A and B are shown apart, each in its own frame.
Chain A
């Protein structure tokens, strides 16, 4: 079975400073259609998740450009260039390349 591992699980950050989260998969996330289906979602306290990044590096509508996704194959990264107060929450990577979808464990970003 595929395993998705996020690091760190908790990340104390400083406002205005960058932050980075890693997501590693035990299997390639390249779909048979040639696309790599790795997404990043943010969940603020008390709210449903919100899509930030899809297909590794595509920013979803309305997502600030301080959020950047990168990576390939089995190794991916979400970077926040300058952390803002509203960025507090839990961040999940999610693979949808396989029919059995899976989330990472989540990374809690706290100021």
Chain B
């Protein structure tokens, strides 16, 4: 059974850093494209970042230069390092895997809430 379990969210002050983790199980982690998507309170979905099977990384303009996506294949874990956090980064952060061979997120975790506030 596929499982994605996000952790690491919490309350931080503007300018601080946070690292999110997404523990994956039930599939061969290294074979899949993985994503981070966020949703601000009461708002729509916003794509944040993607890491390809080869390790190529892609970012939304709103986080480029501040966030870093990475993965540890030995630990089956996806990460999102978030630096220089802003109030507008407040959101539930979801990790999601792509459907095999298809550019579409087919399985999502339950999300972890990040609140940036002084």
Residues on A facing B (Cβ under 8 Å) = 1, 31, 35, 37, 39, 41, 43, 48-51, 54-55, 60, 90, 92, 94, 96-97, 99-106
In the complex, which residues of chain B have a beta carbon less than 8 angstroms from the beta carbon of A49? 37, 45, 94, 96, 105, 108
Closest 7 CB pairs of A and B: A96-B103, A54-B104, A48-B108, A101-B47, A106-B44, A39-B104, A37-B103
Tally of contact residues, B, Cβ under 8 A: 25
In the complex, which residues of chain A have a beta carbon less than 8 angstroms from the beta carbon of B37? 49
- Contacts A37-B104, A48-B110, A54-B104 given; indicate if A100 touches B99 (C-beta within 8 A): no
B14 interfacial contact with A, CB 8 Å = no
Residues on B facing A (Cβ under 8 Å) = 35, 37, 44-47, 50, 58-61, 94, 96, 98-99, 102-111
Task: Pick the contact of A48: B98, B104, B109 (CB < 8 A).
Answer: B109
Contact A92 B99 (CB under 8 A): no
Q: How far is the CB of B105 from chain A (nearest CB, A)?
A: 6
In the complex, which residues of chain B have a beta carbon less than 8 angstroms from the beta carbon of A99? 50, 58
A10 to B45, CA, bound (A): 16
Contact B104 A55 (CB under 8 A): yes
In the complex, which residues of chain A have a beta carbon less than 8 angstroms from the beta carbon of B94? 48-49
Task: Pick the contact of A50: B98, B108, B110 (CB < 8 A).
Answer: B108
| A6 nearest CB neighbor, chain B only | B44
